[in-house]
């Protein structure tokens, strides 16, 4: 097991609960799916094994010898107070692994060989902050079971790649089903947008002036997916995250690619983003 000694905000996440929107259940799962998969592959886990999604500091103590991997936002890592640049670590029983505030990005992932063995709820170990499904957010004193490791540990690529974003983040997006509700659908792609402080696993609000609507009527609630770009009445876009409601009443004018959704998971307030068209006009 691992014991939580310090925590800012952290959740158990795997690849979520896809395919249950008809039951009113969001997909949930890791906000940065590529980082979760990279951490698990570095350890020889199943790519969708449960790990910890972390915002802010975290310190955990190992109750046995463990192999762990850290990916996502490039947080400083210390083992028993000693800093290390390694992203895959052999941790001795009783040792403490500490993650500090990231130098860039927003969410870090800590995976353990064998995966976090939290209870399955509807086929997933993920925490859904909107519905309350899955494990509760981590608290100091929590003890998390580690699953049984199977298979060999990879040796050809032991260290997950560290990706450092620039000052401008490009988000690839296809036109949404309600793009024609904008007076000029290309306006979304021409303007720079600033990430606001209103961001969580449910969604992220952008600032940059209102988009002009061609249709101002009310829209009946309809199905939405992770990465949907909605335009609420104030005209500034909202990007839906993994714990989004399964229906929404604001027009969806674009939908992000999977890679762009991963990029959104690492955006801090104040970062500038632009949308880049990835589908047909």
Q: How many angstroms separate the first and last alpha carbons of the chain?
A: 52
CA-wise closest residue to 144 among 123, 124, 118, 112 = 118
> Predicted confidence band at 217 (pLDDT cuts at 50, 70, 90)?
confident
The answer to whether residues 43 and 58 touch, using CB atoms and an 8 Å cutoff, is no
Q: Which two tokens stand for residue 238?
A: 């909202």
Over 80: is that where the pLDDT of 279 sits?
Answer: no
> What is the average pLDDT value for the chain, to the nearest integer?
93
> Tell me, what's the pLDDT at 164?
63
> Tell me, what's the pLDDT at 165?
63
Prediction pTM value: 0.93
- Give CA–CA dist 249/252, Å, rounded: 9
The answer to whether residues 207 and 237 touch, using CB atoms and an 8 Å cutoff, is no
CA-wise closest residue to 59 among 140, 160, 144 = 140
Mean pLDDT of 43-71: 96
Over 90: is that where the pLDDT of 104 sits?
Answer: no
CATH numbers and ranges of domains, the chain: 2-144 (2.60.120), 168-277 (2.40.100.10)
> Predicted confidence band at 163 (pLDDT cuts at 50, 70, 90)?
low
**Other Cβ atoms closer than 10 A to 260:** 23
Mean pLDDT of 86-111: 94
CA-wise closest residue to 46 among 151, 160, 117, 124 = 151
Q: Which two tokens stand for residue 115?
A: 């995966």
Mean pLDDT of 119-128: 96
């Amino acid at each position: 097991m691992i014991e939580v000694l310090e925590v800012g905000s952290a959740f158990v996440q795997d690849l979520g609960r896809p395919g249950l929107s008809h039951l009113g259940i969001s997909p949930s799962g890791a906000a940065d799916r590529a980082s979760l998969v990279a951490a698990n592959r570095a350890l020889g886990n199943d790519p969708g094994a449960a790990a910890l999604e972390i915002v802010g500091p975290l310190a955990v103590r190992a109750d046995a010898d463990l192999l762990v991997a850290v990916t996502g936002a490039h947080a400083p890592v210390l083992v028993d107070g000693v800093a290390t640049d390694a992203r895959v670590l052999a941790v001795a029983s009783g040792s403490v692994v500490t993650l500090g505030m990231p130098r860039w990005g927003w969410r870090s992932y800590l995976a353990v060989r064998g995966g976090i063995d939290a209870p399955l709820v509807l086929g997933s170990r993920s925490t859904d902050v909107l519905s309350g499904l899955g494990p509760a957010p981590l608290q100091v004193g929590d003890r998390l079971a580690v699953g049984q490791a199977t298979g060999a540990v990879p040796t050809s690529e032991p260290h997950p790649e560290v990706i450092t974003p620039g000052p401008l983040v490009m988000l690839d997006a296809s036109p949404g089903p309600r793009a024609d509700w904008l007076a000029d659908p290309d306006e979304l792609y021409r303007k720079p947008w600033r990430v606001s402080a209103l961001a969580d696993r449910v969604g992220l609000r952008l600032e940059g002036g209102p988009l002009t609507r061609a249709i101002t009527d009310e829209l009946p609630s309809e199905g939405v997916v992770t990465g949907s770009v909605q335009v609420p009445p104030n005209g500034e876009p909202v990007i839906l995250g993994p714990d989004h409601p399964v229906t929404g009443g604001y027009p969806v004018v674009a939908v992000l690619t999977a890679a762009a959704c991963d990029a959104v998971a690492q955006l801090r307030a104040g970062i500038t983003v632009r949308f880049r068209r990835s589908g047909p006009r």
